[in-house]
Every structure is written in structure tokens, then in C-alpha cells.
Amino acid sequence: MIYKDNAVKDLRIAYIGGGSRGWAWTFMRDLALEPALGGTIVLYDINKEAAKANEVIGNGITKRPEAVGKWKYVVADTLAEALTGSDFVVISILPGTFDEMESDVHEPEKYGIYQSVGDTAGPGGMVRALRTIPMFVEIAEAIRDYAPKAWVINYTNPMSLCVKTLYHVFPEIKAFGCCHEVFGTQKLLAQIAERELGLTNIAREDIVVNVLGLNHFTWFDRASYKGIDLFPVYRHFIETHFEEGFEEKDNNWMNSTFACAHRVKFDLFQKYGWIAAAGDRHLAEFMPPIYLKDPQTVASWKFGLTTVTWRKEDLKKRLEKSKRLVSGEEQVELNPSGEEGILLIKALCGLTRVISNVNIPNTAGQIPNLPKSAVVETNAVFSRDSIAPVYAGNLTEEIRQLMLPHVMNHEDVLKAALTCDYEIMLRAFRRDPLVTCSSADADKLLRKMIVNTKKYLPEGWQKISLNP
């Protein structure tokens, strides 16, 4: 990297999953808005035509005068070509298709098991991991061979298991997982503080929090704004608004598949005394089926079940949008996304210093009462070629007990995926809090879900049938 005038303009970033019709455009627009960075983005995707479309879209953004960050977008034919010479690697892939995800999310409903997302915990998250882990083994091996010194940023779910796989295959890898769920809770706290304290224009970034937990099951044990402890403020708001919840200024929970009234967060605060710091759809999946008993219960907690039918319809819209962006009929709107990925790249280049939440192994003991082998989410200090995890402290014993089944499952699912061991996978499957059906039915369900996704599984899983 060549530094000039507090800028780096010769970066090479490999984007694995560079044919994305959505997240890639978010990444492109954030890059275009950062004047201190520039260089080459190498797009790699198993769908080469999709990557080529994003090559056109990205280079079109660069030509616009308001794009102060100048990047050249190119498509690589192979993973090795994409990685060679890269300073950073971004991983954002869909493991399989929405047909496989349809099984992940909806097959368990035949056994009374409902999932609001189906990509991290629960039956859907675990079977998705079986597809994802072999892909990440290949990616980690390629990074080891072609870009061993690159910083690797993962956005793919299940986040914890993706990052865990990268480190398992290549222990010296410089990888971390980025997730925006914490930002949403900071935003919620900012809006509640405005209402409760009569303040205005509180920036999400000014909400100072201590983050600790697992990805999508994160918690705050401290939160403040300019010296004001926000825990009493949050508590008072919940005491007076628990039933209706909180409807954000720009997000009506009834009209969005991703929105919520934050009543799950509020309930968890009343039960455990800490602020749960992820979307209600994710938080609910880590718990026993208190909030996901059935669709009626979900509605009573004022969040939604994201159906795969909705995802498929949304994909059709994004495919059409891709065509319009390629033809020039439509342009990517250049406004900040609120994500911090580009800011973290800037910090790792040494151009700034940032404290942000990050998913990395617990090897520094940032959460002392979780295993060091666990991938945890805490704050970390990003600076030149360095990520220094912040000591987060212990979980309360009650919250630790909620997390332990998932920590154990991360170990077992990784082992099962690497060895194609059905019995280990079944053990993890039965341990998940959402799997409340009988042991026999859990076996039937897991077999069916594996059969439904065999196309994307290694040879060792092909022998699994519907009958024991």
C-alpha cells in the first residue's frame, strides 16, 4: 500500500460473492463515499455473469463526479486469481439457493417449530451451516495459499461458524466478522433517550456500549450517552411502554418483514437485566419457543416470520434492478449505508482508529466465562494492521446458561460438517432450544432437511436417507 496525503489509493480488495444483487451495491456506494481509499475491487462469484453485471455497475459509480472514492472493478475467473495480491478479502455469499433455505425455514414447521430468520440458530441455521462450512474450508485454504497476509471480513451467516471455520483451517488468518445488529440497538437507545430525556439528534455512534455475547445473541451490560447512564432510561421506557413496544420513526413493524416493536428485547431486559442487542427476529431463535411458539404468538410480540417466499419475490425485484443499473436506466443512490466495513478497512490501513463490535475467537479471554475456542462478539480497537479485542467481562450466569447450548453446538456442527458425522449433527440438533419435538421426530426432521440440501453437501452426506 502506498500512503499519500493521508490516503491509500492502491488497495486491492477481493470480493468473494461479488455477484451479489444487494449487499455488493451497499459496499460499492460506501466505497464511493470514502475519499481516503481507492484501488481495485476484484469480483469473484460462481455466477460469473452476476459478477460481470456488478463490474459494469461498480465502474459506472466510479465515473460519477460525486463518487469521491475511485475504484476499478474487474472480474476474476478463479478464486486464486481474485485473492493473489489482495490486501483485503470480503466474503458475502449465499450458501446454496433460496430453494434450500425454504427447506431450512419451513420444513421444521411440520413439527411445530417456527423460525423467524433461519440462518444462524435453530434447525435452519444448523443445516445452513452444513452447506456453508465446506465452502469456507475451500475459501480458507485459498486465502492461506494466495493471500495469507490479507485482512478477511466476513458478512456471511451463520457468522460464528463461518469465522470459526476460517480459523480452524488457517489458524494464522486475520479474519473477523462484521454485523450491524448492534448498530440497530444503539439506534433504538438513541431514539428512546430522545423521547425520555427531551433531547434531539442523538447520533447512533454517540451511544457508548459494552458488547458481549454471540453474533445475533449479543448483549449490553453498559450503555451511556455523554455520561448519562441509559439503563435507567431504558428501564423507565419499558415500564411505561411494554405492551405497545417501540415503533421507530422510519420503521412500522406491521409493514416490514424485518421490522419489530422491540418487545422481545424489552422482555429479555425484564427477565435478565441486560439489554439484548440484536433484532427481535434473531434473538427469538436463540431462546426456547417463548416468542416463536406459533405465528399467533409471534404476532403478539410484534415481529415477523420472514418467509422464503418473500425472499424469492425480493430476489426477483433485485434481479430486475440489476438490469436497470447495468443499462443505466437507474443509478445506485450514493448515500451512507450506516455500515462500518469501509471505516474498519480505513482503520486497518492506519488512516484512523475505530472501536467497533467484531466477531473473532475468544482467545484473548475477552469474555472469560466462555470457552476460548468460542467465536464471540465484543468491541475491539481497530488501528493500523491490528485488531485488539476489548475485555468485555463475564456474562451473568443466567445469560451464560442461555448461550452454552449454542457454544456447544458451534463445536459439534463444525465437527460434524468436517467429518460428515450424522450422529454428532443429530446431537447438536436435539440440543437446540427450538427443537422441542421428540427425539425420534428430531431424527426424522434432520434426515429430511439433509436430503433436501444434499446437492450442496459433500459426498459423505449422500448416504443419509429418510430412514435410519
* Closest to 14 measured CA to CA, from 94, 93, 61, 84: 84
173-194 residue pLDDT tens: 999 999 999 999 999 999 999 9
Give the per-residue pLDDT at 49. 97
Q: What is the pTM of this model?
A: 0.96
**Annotation says 410 is catalytic:** no
Give the per-residue pLDDT at 132. 98
Give the per-residue pLDDT at 39. 97
Q: Which of 106, 168, 180, 406 is catalytic?
A: 180
Alpha carbon distance 239, 47 (integer Å): 51
Give the per-residue pLDDT at 4. 77
* Closest to 210 measured CA to CA, from 19, 393, 430, 446: 393
Distances (CA, A) of 462 to 131, 132, 443, 447, 454: 13, 16, 16, 11, 6
Within 8 A by CB and 6+ apart from 125, the residues are 104, 117, 118, 119, 157, 158, 285
Which residues are annotated as part of the binding site for substrate? 157
CB 87 within 8 A of CB 13: yes
* Closest to 99 measured CA to CA, from 308, 316, 373, 321: 308
427-444 residue pLDDT tens: 999 999 999 999 999 999
Is residue 251 over pLDDT 90? no
Backbone angles phi, psi at 182, to 5 degrees: -60, -35
Is residue 253 over pLDDT 50? no
CB 153 within 8 A of CB 90: yes
Backbone angles phi, psi at 251, to 5 degrees: -155, 95
Pairing mode of beta strands 386-389, 88-91? unpaired
199-239 residue pLDDT tens: 999 999 999 999 999 999 999 999 999 999 999 999 999 99
Q: What is the DSSP string of 14-74?
A: EEETTT-SSHHHHHHHHHHT-TTEEEEEEEE-SSHHHHHHHHHHHHHHHHSTT--S-EEEE
Give the per-residue pLDDT at 303. 94
DSSP lists the bridge partners of residue 360 as: 376
Which residues are annotated as part of the binding site for Mn(2+)? 179, 216
Give the per-residue pLDDT at 357. 97
Quote the mean pLDDT of the chain: 95
Q: How is the chain split into domains, by residue range?
A: 8-97+121-177, 98-120+178-306+339-457
134-171 residue pLDDT tens: 999 999 999 999 999 999 999 999 999 999 999 999 99
The CATH code of the domain at 98-120+178-306+339-457 is 3.90.1820.10
- The domain made up of 8-97+121-177 has a fold known as Rossmann fold (3.40.50)
Backbone angles phi, psi at 51, to 5 degrees: -65, -40
Burial category of 43 from C-beta neighbours within 10 Å (exposed 0-12, middle 13-18, buried 19 and up): buried
Distances (CA, A) of 404 to 76, 400, 459: 41, 6, 31
- Classify 111 as helix, strand or coil: helix
Cell numbers found for residue 425? 449433527
The arithmetic mean of pLDDT across residues 38-57, rounded, is 97
* Closest to 41 measured CA to CA, from 23, 65, 16: 16
77-118 residue pLDDT tens: 999 999 999 999 999 999 999 999 999 999 999 999 999 999
Q: Which stretches does DSSP call E strand in 324-405?
A: 354-361, 375-383, 386-389
Place of cell 427447506: 103
Is residue 364 over pLDDT 70? yes
